[in-house]
Amino acid sequence: MTFETENGALVCRRMGETLRIEPWGRDSFRVRASMLPKLTGNDWALTETVEKCDAQITIGKEDHWVGDGTIDKKEIATIVNGRLKAVVNFAGVISFYRDHKLILREYFRNYDGTLSRESRCLKLVNREWKGVIGGSEYALNVKFESDKKEKIFGMGQYQQDCLDLKGCVLELAQRNSQISVPFAVSSLGYGFLWNNPAVGRVSFGKNYTEWIARATKEMDYWITAADTPKQILENYTAVTGRAEMFPEDLMGLWQCKLRYRTQDEVLSVARQYRKEGIKIDQIVIDFFHWTVQGDWKFDEKYWPDPKAMVDELHEMGIKVIVSVWPSVDRKSENFGPMMERGLLIRTERGAAQTYDYQGDCVEIDPFNPETRKYVWDVCKKNYYDYGIDAFWLDNSEPDYGVYDFENYRYFDGPALAVSNLYPQLYSRTFYEGMCEEKKGTVVNLLRCAWAGSQKYGNVVWSGDVPSTFEAFADQLQCGLNMGLAGIPWWTTDIGGFMTDDVNDPDFRQLLIRWYQFAVYSPVLRMHGDRGPYNIPPLDDRDWGGGYLHTGQPNELWSYGEDNYAIMKKYYDVRISMHDYIKKLYEEAHENGSPLLRTMFYEFPDDEKCWDAEDQYMFGSRFLAAPILHLNEWNRSVYLPAGKWKLTSTGEVFEGGCTVNVDAPIDYMPVFERMD
């Protein structure tokens, strides 16, 4: 290994690999390596300008055990940025220290290793490069030593019941309801961003941690050190970006269902809400309001005057959001021009098809700037110019018919190398166009995200999840880990997306419990595909806004008077918290703090808070304990040190203990922090 300094960075070379470590923000390093002649220069998630940091770099010698009992001198290099130090030995193995205490070290078991005399015959190296046959990319495997006592959080959204990700294997790929945001927060006091949009896998094993990119041109990760998760998130969002200030007029109720089929249906629902005295902030027009996928326009038969509809809704103080899918049907008027100009995803072999729901479709390629301009121009003309306020960018993974990533190629290269960035670029198609219009903060709804998506006006929801208590419990850890991955604007379909029978009393109980949780969440949004499917289509065409099924009504009053009374009660709770919620959004904008917070985020010195997985903090003031099981009428809640007031009775508890509280159907246990 040879060492040198270059513009404040430490550069190391060995066996054809170039390794570069440089300061990148407060107490942080960016670490890149490549087997190619030079680094790509891609920023990926590290888009923000950071203050210049003067790192201290030293290159020297250390004692090295040779194997015959003798000691040799080998070169070693050290780079220090504030509280974080990286040490690179002669074999290229990197060790990271916070305040001189080891927090992370690459895993190396080879003949010339210096870190362990055992297991050297395994021939396992810290960074393994294997050329992808026929291409310029490499398959990359990077290993780190594992600390069995460590807890790991963040990483986006995975449909599982694990809040602590230690021991988990996570696919680094985007799917419906799975969101790869590869930033991990460690209980050892560091944050780690895998700054690489390649499809792959991470294993947080007890024996070692392993990051895999199936096709990439370079290794790129960022590491920061801090005392608390809050400081780690502040460092992380300083280099990847922060959400803008969320508009006050969207902090209440969003109304949605699958699906409002006509403008008359939309207006009748809005008028009924006004009659009921319930203000809705936004109403959502879901899919197949269009002619065919990729036309990106209203079916005139059922939406004859969109501008008049929008004007009336605006007069009621209601904003309007409309669904846009990235899929383009071969029957669409845009398919020919987009295919001819290379604006759609390409397949490496076989037919040109990437999606087959309700049509033979190929999805757009937002990696191509020309694609982004084309799609925005069409949607501006057919939606935005009518006064539509925002876009529901559904299927934004994209939702492939088959997730054979090796069969797809984008403008920037093979999907294996860059596909995880797709949802962010899809959102930027609209974010950038809307910013140019200068009509206020952009807030769009997406089903997927990647590292840094928080800065592009993305409200991310948890996808098409089942209407079960098991799925509901999963959404709690999904929201908490999304927040720790830097995505503060997050929501779910209240009651889950997939319901067989809205009249089932078990479902209605689930709906109420989910709604109570949603009131203490960033965005309160009614949505779902509600069975039974016994509503006839509007016409017998096999295209357009009339033929596809619609779900049962999904307004607050749709589930009986008793449930309506509970939802109105909690609606009032949400409205009463407006000023508080505004402050939470301000925090997200100022320092990256999520609204939905793990217990340890607020109480990092309390070991029990690191184990609490079924309760959370809504900001710093409210401790919420959702009811996650059918027919559960009381539950235990751990209260950290301090005084806590139960919101149902006003009773004050001294913290540092676990209490049992009642949870009748009209109440979710919530404690208000008193000090």
Range 598-673 classified under CATH 3.40.50.300: no
**Pairing relation of β-strands 657-662 and 634-639?**
antiparallel
Q: Classify domain 2-240 by CATH architecture.
A: Sandwich (2.60)
Residue 451 corresponds to which tokens in the numbers above? 């590292």
Any idea how long the chain is? 675
Q: Strand, helix or coil at 481?
A: helix
Query: What pLDDT sits at residue 67?
Result: 58
In this structure, are residues 375 and 364 in contact, taking their beta carbons and an 8 Å threshold?
A: yes
The domains of the chain are located at 2-240, 247-324+493-580, 598-673
CA angle 184, 189, 190 (to 5 degrees): 45
Q: Which of 394, 399, 529, 602 is catalytic?
A: 394
Question: Does residue 99 have an active-site annotation?
Answer: no
In this structure, are residues 415 and 409 in contact, taking their beta carbons and an 8 Å threshold?
A: yes
Q: Which of 164, 363, 389, 464 is catalytic?
A: 464
Greatest extent of the chain over all pairs of C-alpha atoms, in Å? 88
Would the CATH topology of 247-324+493-580 be identical to that of 598-673?
no
Distance CA 180, CA 421 (A): 10
Helix-helix angle 578-591:229-240, to 10 degrees: 70
Residue 588 corresponds to which tokens in the numbers above? 């997200």
Q: Which of 389, 397, 529, 602 is catalytic?
A: 397
User: By C-alpha distance, which of 357, 356, 374 is closest to 365?
Assistant: 374
CA 35 centroid distance within chain: 31
Distance CA 336, CA 590 (A): 45
Query: What pLDDT sits at residue 73?
Result: 81
Strand partners, 662: 634
User: By C-alpha distance, which of 184, 183, 12, 201 is closest to 90?
Assistant: 12
User: By C-alpha distance, which of 389, 383, 489 is closest to 446?
Assistant: 489
Query: What pLDDT sits at residue 66?
Result: 58
User: By C-alpha distance, which of 454, 460, 458 is closest to 443?
Assistant: 458
Distance CA 555, CA 75 (A): 69
Distance CA 289, CA 301 (A): 10
Residue 148 corresponds to which tokens in the numbers above? 């069995």
Q: Mean pLDDT in runs of 10 for the chain (675 residues)?
A: 95 97 98 97 97 93 67 89 97 96 95 55 92 92 97 98 98 98 98 98 98 98 98 98 98 97 98 98 97 98 98 98 98 98 97 97 98 98 98 98 97 98 98 96 98 98 98 98 98 97 98 98 98 94 90 98 98 98 98 98 98 98 98 98 98 98 98 95
Residue in this structure with the two tokens 């009428």, named with its chain if needed: 633
CATH of segment(s) 247-324+493-580:
3.20.20.80
Distance CA 471, CA 45 (A): 30
Query: What pLDDT sits at residue 613?
Result: 97
Query: What pLDDT sits at residue 471?
Result: 98
Hey, how many other C-beta atoms are within 10 angstroms of the C-beta on 593? 24
Residue 363 corresponds to which tokens in the numbers above? 């999805």
Distance CA 462, CA 596 (A): 14
User: By C-alpha distance, which of 335, 278, 171, 205 is closest to 524?
Assistant: 278
**pTM of the full structure:** 0.97
Q: Strand, helix or coil at 40?
A: coil
Question: Does residue 394 have an active-site annotation?
Answer: yes
Please give the DSSP secondary-structure letter assigned to residue 204. Answer: E
Question: Does residue 397 have an active-site annotation?
Answer: yes
